[in-house]
Amino acid sequence: MIIERLREYADAETPTGDATALNAFADRLAERYAGLGATVRRVPMPTGDHLVADFPGRGPQADAAPLLFLGHHDTVWPIGQLADAMPWREEDGIIHGPGVFDMKGGLVVLETALEQVADQDHRPVRIVVVADEEVGSPSARDLVTAESKGVYAAFGLEPPHPNGDLKTSRWGSTRVRIEITGREAHAALDPASGISAIDELVDQLIAIRQIITQYDEVLCNVGTITGGGRTNVVPGSAAADIGFRFVDPSTEKAVLAAVETLHAVRAAQLQVRVMSNRPAWQPSAATDELLTKVIAAGQSVGQQVGGAAASGAADTNLTGWLGIPTLDGLGPVGKGAHAVHEQVIAATLAERVALVAAIITAL
């Protein structure tokens, strides 16, 4: 049943920003969570609705602080990816398809675990599923912050490390857009009256590279560049989206301050905008203590659980940064996030269900 559910979810393609597709998928989740006993609240957003589902506790801890599970239903894949390049297939115990690893597998794991513990004693459980995680959750940050208040611990349903270890900290992640406005002119007849936005953008990207060379642990990826239109026209506009990764808040603050105070080299207009930000989630004693409890929960179902730092970012960055005991990586084991070979090991779906169920009932 769990594999069939995952196929159903993979078949429903949900690219970030496609509100129609995302809201249709949110309908499925809302119905599923309500059927499992949750009170479901929808948070409308222009780019796709977020969901909050609250499951009541049972037994002695019915009124205790809830466990928070964070997930997302958007993927990096466009509509048509399933048919054109990444058809669902299950071969030799491996499941292939868009979103099976990042992170519809994690969504299926959680709901199946909740089904299994429905008649057992446990704390209340809160689920927040956001619609724009793949672009940094710009519309969901306030929601995650609000729903994190008063929780006992937070867990992410993102993919684990390749060996199945959970994630105990994450680098910070910030998306920055550099926009240049120059002045168009004929590139041959009157080039001197033009101001090349593309030339200015190139110079600014070089300046950014020089900034990050001053720090040991900063990642910088220029993800998109746009600008210009014709080779006989001096380009009047250009832009680049840049992804930064930071190991600690102080480095993040210093680098972003330097980037935000860049000055134009020529008489162009330059604007720097932060599109999304996830602060660094650093190792903590609270998370170490939580991992110890999860290790014990894993042992109760015959599993060895480990934990390690991660460089990728997710919504758990925020809960970890807020000081909430946090672990991520409860999705199934696999590989190929954001790649055409995206896949999960089928047997680990049931293993992760058992682990999540044990966590819910043990904490």
Sign of CA dihedral 128, 44, 47, 38: positive
Q: Which of 27, 37, 52 is nearest to 117 (CA)?
A: 37
| Residues 42 and 49 sit within 8 Å (Cβ to Cβ) | yes
Lookup: tokens for 126? 């809160």
| Helices and strands counted in the chain (H then E) | 10, 16
Q: Is the peptide bond before 103 cis (omega within 30 degrees of 0)?
A: yes
The length of the chain in residues reads: 363
Query: Which residues are marked as active site?
Result: 74, 133
Measure Cα distances from 45 to 15, 48, 129, 164, 238 in Å: 15, 5, 13, 34, 29
Cβ atoms < 10 Å from Cβ of 321: 18
Cα end-to-end span (Å), the chain: 27
Lookup: tokens for 103? 């992170």
How far apart are the C-alpha atoms of 92 and 108, rounded to whole Å? 21
How far apart are the C-alpha atoms of 14 and 34, rounded to whole Å? 21
Strand order across the 67-72 sheet: 39-43, 50-55, 125-130, 67-72, 153-156, 326-327
Radius of gyration from C-alpha coordinates of the chain:
23
Residue 136 Rama label (left phi>0; alpha psi -120 to 50; beta): left
